[in-house]
């Protein structure tokens, strides 16, 4: 079977999702369940440590999905480490999606702080999943300090633009010894399928599902697209050709 392994966990679904931007907790739960995603990011802000009745968390806790806290909102390595520790307490998990984006407009990740935080968090025993620019050299450096995967972006978060970093994702996938998960920018099932066809190990999709007019149906659509892209990758795509080739043999009956 086609299993994805990250640290001590295995996944049969290669579609990771998020919990932001949904119209309601119920819509979120429905969409995530329909997507069959097994790993779901959650912003620390949403985790109300004190409040047992926190709506969103309760919805997710009744399912079998793994919660992956993220550090969204921090601007430095130091803040990220602090946030990761808080998240570990609150959610009882040493997995952390590392996001450090000082810029409030485009939310693009900071390569310097991310590497620094990753190194510190690995030493503290975290399973670190860093969200980064599609920078092949940075990916190798993160791998060298012990992250369990790399999460390069396809396009700015929430832009829905798709795979705008193709030339660099190809290099990252070629060179990486840890799973490559394309994160951010995926706005349509075709984008997700494309990332998987390139050889990505998984994708993370949030906005495109959450703000669709029908999040549940969109969750299913992404599930199918990710499966399609993965199957195509394994079955090998036909090569691109400049000259056409008839798929129907040219009939010569008229000359008979």
CA 191 to chain centre: 12
The response to whether 214 counts as a known ligand-binding position is no
The response to whether 221 counts as a known ligand-binding position is no
Give the residue with the Cβ less far from its own copies, 9 or 82.
82
Q: Which positions are catalytic?
A: 97
Shortest Å, Cβ 237 to its own copies: 5
Give the residue with the Cβ less far from its own copies, 8 or 113.
113
Shortest Å, Cβ 205 to its own copies: 9
Structure tokens, 150: 């790399």
The response to whether 184 counts as a known ligand-binding position is yes
Give Cα separations from 233 to 57, 69, 237 (angstroms).
35, 30, 7
Shortest Å, Cβ 182 to its own copies: 13
State the residue for tokens 């025993």: 125
Shortest Å, Cβ 185 to its own copies: 9
CA 195 to chain centre: 11
The response to whether 158 counts as a known ligand-binding position is yes
Task: Name the nearest CA neighbour of 95 among 1, 215, 11.
Answer: 11
State the residue for tokens 């790993």: 39
Burial-class residue 118 by CB neighbours within 10 Å (0-12, 13-18, 19+).
buried
Give the residue with the Cβ less far from its own copies, 4 or 226.
226
CA distance 206 to 38: 14
The response to whether 207 counts as a known ligand-binding position is yes
Give the residue with the Cβ less far from its own copies, 8 or 161.
161
CA distance 83 to 93: 13
Annotated binding site for 1-deoxy-D-xylulose 5-phosphate: 158, 184-185, 206-207
């Amino acid at each position: 079977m086609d299993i994805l392994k990250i640290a001590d966990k295995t996944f049969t679904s290669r579609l990771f999702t998020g919990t932001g931007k949904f119209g309601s907790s119920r819509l979120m739960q429905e969409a995530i369940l329909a997507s069959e995603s097994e790993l779901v990011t959650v912003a620390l802000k949403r985790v109300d440590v004190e409040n047992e009745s926190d709506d969103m968390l309760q919805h997710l806790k009744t399912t079998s999905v793994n919660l992956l806290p993220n550090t969204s909102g921090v601007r430095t390595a130091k803040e990220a480490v602090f946030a990761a520790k808080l998240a570990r307490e609150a959610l009882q998990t040493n997995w952390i999606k590392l996001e450090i984006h000082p810029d409030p407009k485009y939310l693009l990740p900071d390569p310097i702080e991310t590497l620094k935080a990753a190194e510190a968090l690995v030493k503290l025993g975290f399973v670190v999943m860093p969200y980064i620019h599609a920078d092949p050299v940075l990916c190798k450096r993160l791998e060298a300090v012990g992250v369990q995967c790399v999460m390069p972006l396809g396009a700015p978060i929430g832009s829905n633009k798709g795979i705008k970093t193709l030339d660099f994702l190809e290099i990252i996938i070629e060179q990486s010894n840890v799973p490559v998960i394309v994160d951010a920018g995926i706005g349509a099932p075709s984008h997700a399928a494309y990332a998987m066809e390139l050889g990505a190990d998984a994708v993370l999709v949030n906005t495109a599902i959450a703000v669709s007019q029908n999040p549940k149906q969109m969750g299913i659509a992404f599930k199918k697209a990710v499966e399609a892209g993965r199957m195509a990758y394994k079955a090998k795509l036909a090569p691109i050709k400049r000259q056409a080739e008839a798929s129907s043999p040219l009939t010569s009956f008229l000359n008979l």
